């Protein structure tokens, strides 16, 4: 519904509308939004854009780390995103990090050394904080 509101605004509830199985919400969704020429494609393209812009929440607090350089880290297997919080409280998100790199990173005796050798300058990143 957010993409509908963004694309063409919200339609108020129609309390006088008679009940039909086609539009049981009372908002006239079908008539107001979907039957207007071209509206379905506008809504679909806005929904696709919104989904692409969605990011997983910060994951750097998933695992505390005993390290002189890194204080926390977290990983998403689904999106292959690695979040790292450094001692200075900056947080970076690295994209396209394979699960095997994450597993090696977790088990590395020196997180800072592993980061410098296997992650830094190897994956695209964004500073989150």
The mean per-residue pLDDT over the stretch 103-116 comes to 96
Residues pairing with 82 in the sheet? 75, 94
More confident residue, 26 or 91: 91
Tell me the C-alpha to C-alpha distance, in Å, between residue 74 and each of 81, 85, 108, 113.
Answer: 8, 9, 15, 17
Sheet with 63-64, side-by-side order of all strands? 63-64, 70-76, 81-86, 91-95, 125-127
More confident residue, 29 or 43: 43
Query: By mean pLDDT, which of 56-60, 77-81, 106-110, 115-119 is the weakest?
Result: 56-60
Q: How confident is the model at residue 50 (pLDDT cuts 50, 70, 90)?
A: confident
């Amino acid at each position: 519904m957010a993409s509908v509101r963004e694309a063409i605004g919200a339609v108020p509830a129609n309390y006088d509308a008679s009940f039909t199985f086609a539009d049981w919400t009372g908002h006239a969704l079908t008539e107001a939004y979907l039957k207007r020429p071209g509206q379905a494609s506008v809504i679909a393209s806005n929904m696709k854009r919104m989904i692409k812009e969605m990011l997983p929440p910060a994951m750097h607090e998933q695992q505390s780390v005993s390290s002189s350089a890194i204080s926390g880290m977290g990983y998403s297997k689904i999106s292959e995103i690695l979040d790292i919080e450094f001692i200075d409280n900056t947080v970076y998100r690295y994209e396209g990090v394979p699960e095997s790199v994450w597993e090696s990173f977790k088990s590395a005796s020196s997180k800072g050394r592993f980061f410098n050798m296997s992650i830094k300058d190897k994956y695209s990143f964004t500073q989150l904080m």
